[in-house]
Amino acid sequence: MHMLKIDNLHARVEGKEILKGLSLTVKPGEVHAIMGPNGAGKSTLGNVLAGRDGYEVTQGTVDFAGRDLLALEPEERAAVGVFLAFQYPVEIPGVNNTYFLRAALNAQRKFRGEDELDSMRFLKLVREKLKVMQISDELLHRAVNEGFSGGEKKRNEIFQMAVLEPKLAILDETDSGLDIDALKQVAEGVNALRSPDRSFVIVTHYQRLLDYIQPDYVHVLAGGRIVESGDKDLALKLEEQGYAWLAETHPELRKADLAGAPA
Amino acid sequence: MNPLPSPFVRAALDAAGGLPDSGIAWLDAARRENLQAFAESGLPEGRNEAWKYTPLRALSQRAFALADRTAASGLAIDPALFALPGLDGARIVFVDGTFRADLSSLDADGIELAPLSAALSSQAEPLRFALANRYRRGATDAFVHLNAALATDGFVLRIAEGATVSRPVHVVHVSSGSQADTAWHVRLLVEVGKGAAADIVEHFVSAGDATQLGTVVSDVVLREGARLGVVLLQDASPATTLVRRGHVRIDAGAQATLHALELGGGLVRHELHADLDGDGARFDSRGVFALAGRQHVDTQLEIRHKARDTASDALWRGIADGRSRGVFRGAILVAEGADGADAALSNKNLLLSGMAEIDTKPELEIYADEVKAAHGATIGQLDERSLFYLRSRGIPLAEARSLLTLAFCRAALESLQNDTLREYLGERLVAHLPTGPAE
């Protein structure tokens, strides 16, 4: 049984078609890495799955554990178990991090018909997760992401994921802008959350994150579609050779689709 | 020139004709003089700059009789209507502008609180300076003239020199909402003695939905080194028209602080004039107006730095939803010789609906040297990225909007020291915020 099945997905942003027939199936417990050159549609995929306004699906289907994901509001997608770790987590002055997270968790629980957590039970849960993520509880008292360093923001995303316990986590270039220590911390957090019934889609520009998070599958997204799939060795090959070689097996890809090879 | 007085003016003249003399010659003369000034000017019109964004054409066609004092004295009012958590000090309650001894509790350490009628009959002379004050002629001050002509009730509050009043004085204006098309007028006088410290909570509520007009004019003086904190909670019904004018004089080393939360009212005008008269005087004002439906709320701040090393800090937030309209004018004047003045003014606004409107106008006039002045005003909408972020974590759209809106206002209320009151104001604001999607 699949957890996520994307079939022939086409999506437009500001009238421009970015995804052009993307298909991907993810089973429970699997970790899929999606790599690809700049402008291939990597971030668009995450935003479409999370339901962001302005991302218009023109064709195709997305099935999430038997539900039509595209028919759900963003908050409903979260409640059924989809989590997007943002590439650029937004700062929200005036909204306390802990308050926000409890409101989010309880809104999800309410949607699922579960009882809401009072502040005692919530705090207990938060303390457990803090240990796993090695986040100082000082961050909890601040406004959401306000004044956080790049690394703190990304760790806060993973921390939120730990508290919300989604079925499917999409990490949108979570590794970008992180130094090696921060990258390791984020990877450790993700690894701690791996389980047989939780899946990950890791969108990344660089192979190095995959040194710390072992993917089951690696896909290349180019020209708005998955054009190549393989195991971890594919990531290594991309690291060494870039994307240009794909033009031989995929003559339909234009040169511009393959520009922006990883550094 | 207005050849024919409007229904509004005619009704005011009729109301004045029915008022008994006070028996105090200077007071009756002042009332007549103010009535005449009001009759001559009428209500301000659109070309009056100070009233540009608050048109009164519709109001001028309405006639308000004076609210009946006997009826106001006998109305059953549930004290729960104006109960505020943690407020158990002195309280003075007016129902349709009439002092209600049965709902009030005037005794508290360090204060002298008396209804205006009682203060006039015991010792009128000390009130002469304030009550016989000659306001500028002209329509800009029309409502002040009207209030001076027709207000027969109010209070005099004196805080004794050096006294520290620990519990806030609760001032309650109840619009009964049961005497349709009536007006009430209240006059307040406050003096905070040298080195004294006190807090006042001024509270507007409605007990019913009938259309009423209320005017309140206050004169507040802070003597040397005094400290006064004022919290204003305006929660009147949408059928209420409220016009308020406050004059605050702040002497050397004294500090006044205002936290205002304007939630109710149909048509509201709030003018506050603060004079920083003495060296080192300070005035901080914080306010939020949150409007919906067809509400129109107009806030006018005039802060005048007249002495050395004076400071003022104004931080106001506005939210307009539905077809409401918010107006904010913050004017800061630094007079010649007021060197070392430090003035800051910030007004940020959120439009929650395409049909709502906000007009904001910061003004700065500086005639002194070595002055620090900063002002800014913005009008914007809820940030789509933040909304999506909250929703992507499972928070429903309506709750996300309300969370962000409250966050936007937080800066204006967080400096209120009274925790219980601050939390209560926050709750009132949340309850008042729109929860549905934008129109």
pLDDT per position as a tens digit, B232-263: 999 999 999 999 999 999 999 999 999 999 99
Q: Give, in order, the Cα–Cα distances in Å from A154 to each of A41, A87, A89, B110, B368.
A: 21, 8, 7, 56, 50
Per residue of chain B (439 residues), give pLDDT as tens. Answer: 556 889 999 999 999 998 999 999 999 999 999 999 999 999 998 788 899 999 999 999 999 999 999 999 999 999 999 999 999 999 999 999 999 999 999 999 999 999 998 999 888 888 998 898 877 888 889 999 999 999 999 999 999 999 999 999 999 999 999 999 999 999 999 999 999 999 999 999 999 999 999 999 999 999 999 999 999 999 999 999 999 999 999 999 999 999 999 999 999 999 999 999 999 999 999 999 999 999 999 999 999 999 999 999 999 999 999 999 999 999 999 999 999 999 999 999 999 999 999 999 999 999 998 999 999 999 999 999 999 999 999 999 999 998 999 999 988 999 999 999 999 999 999 888 866 444 3
Say if CB B14 and CB B65 are below 8 A apart: yes
Do residue A75 and residue B385 have CB atoms under 8 angstroms apart? no
| pLDDT score recorded for residue A260 | 56
Q: Is the dihedral of CA B35, B40, B42, B46 positive or negative?
A: negative
Longest dimension (CA), chain B: 71
Torsion of CA A113, A114, A115, A119, to 10 degrees: -120
Do residue A51 and residue B410 have CB atoms under 8 angstroms apart? no
State the best of A72, A91, A100, A105 to mutate against chain B, taking most chain B CBs within 10 Å.
A100
Q: In angstroms, rounded to a whole number, what is the distance separating the alpha carbons of residues A161 and A135? A: 13
Name the residue facing A78 among B393, B403, B407 (closest C-beta): B393
| pLDDT score recorded for residue A263 | 38
| pLDDT score recorded for residue B3 | 61
> Least CA distance to B406: which residue of chain A?
A94
Q: In angstroms, rounded to a whole number, what is the distance separating the alpha carbons of residues A192 and A208? A: 18
Do residue A75 and residue B394 have CB atoms under 8 angstroms apart? yes
Fold held by A4-258: Rossmann fold (3.40.50)
Q: Is A90 on the interface with B (CB under 8 A)?
A: yes
Residue pointed to by tokens 């520290």: B164
| pLDDT score recorded for residue B4 | 81
For this complex, say whether ipTM is above 0.90.
Answer: yes
Residues of A in contact with B315 (CB under 8 A): none
| pLDDT score recorded for residue A206 | 85
Residues of A in contact with B394 (CB under 8 A): 75, 78-79, 104-105, 107-108, 111, 164
Q: How far is B262 from chain A (nearest CA, A)?
A: 20
Residues of A in contact with B384 (CB under 8 A): 53
List chain B domain ranges.
Answer: 7-382
List chain A domain ranges.
Answer: 4-258
Scan residues 30-69 of A and list those with Cβ closer than 8 Å to B. 50-53
Do residue B389 and residue A107 have CB atoms under 8 angstroms apart? no
Q: How far is CA A78 from its chain centroid?
A: 12
| pLDDT score recorded for residue B325 | 97
Do residue B395 and residue A107 have CB atoms under 8 angstroms apart? yes
Q: How far is B393 from chain A (nearest CA, A)?
A: 6
Name the residue facing B394 among A89, A94, A104 (closest C-beta): A104
| pLDDT score recorded for residue A247 | 85
| pLDDT score recorded for residue A68 | 97
Tokens of B341: 């003045």
Q: Which amino acid is at A236?
A: L
Q: Is A86 on the interface with B (CB under 8 A)?
A: yes
Residues of A in contact with B408 (CB under 8 A): 94
Beta-strand runs (E) in B251-370? 255-262, 267-276, 282-291, 296-305, 311-320, 325-334, 342-351, 357-366
Do residue A92 and residue B406 have CB atoms under 8 angstroms apart? no
Do residue A92 and residue B390 have CB atoms under 8 angstroms apart? yes
Name the residue facing B395 among A51, A93, A104 (closest C-beta): A104
Starting at the edge strand found earlier in the chain, the sheet holding A31-35 runs: A82-85, A168-172, A199-203, A31-35, A217-222, A225-230
| pLDDT score recorded for residue B136 | 80
Do residue A95 and residue B404 have CB atoms under 8 angstroms apart? yes
Name the residue facing B408 among A83, A94, A101 (closest C-beta): A94
State the best of A53, A75, A100 to mutate against chain B, taking most chain B CBs within 10 Å.
A75
| pLDDT score recorded for residue B437 | 44
Do residue B391 and residue A103 have CB atoms under 8 angstroms apart? no
**A-B C-beta contacts closer than 8 Å:** 75
Do residue A94 and residue B385 have CB atoms under 8 angstroms apart? no
| pLDDT score recorded for residue A211 | 92
| pLDDT score recorded for residue A1 | 78
Do residue B392 and residue A74 have CB atoms under 8 angstroms apart? yes
Residue pointed to by tokens 């089973």: A27
pLDDT by 10-residue block (mean), chain A, 263 residues: 94 94 97 91 94 95 96 97 96 93 97 95 92 79 91 92 96 90 90 95 91 95 94 91 86 76 43
Q: In angstroms, rounded to a whole number, what is the distance separating the alpha carbons of residues B74 and B91? A: 19
Starting at the edge strand found earlier in the chain, the sheet holding A4-13 runs: A16-26, A4-13, A55-64, A67-68
Tokens of B277: 């008269």
- Collapsed DSSP state (helix, strand, coil) of residue B393: coil
Q: What DSSP string runs through B82-125? A: T--TT--S-EEEEETTEE-GGG-B---TTEEEEEHHHHHHH--G
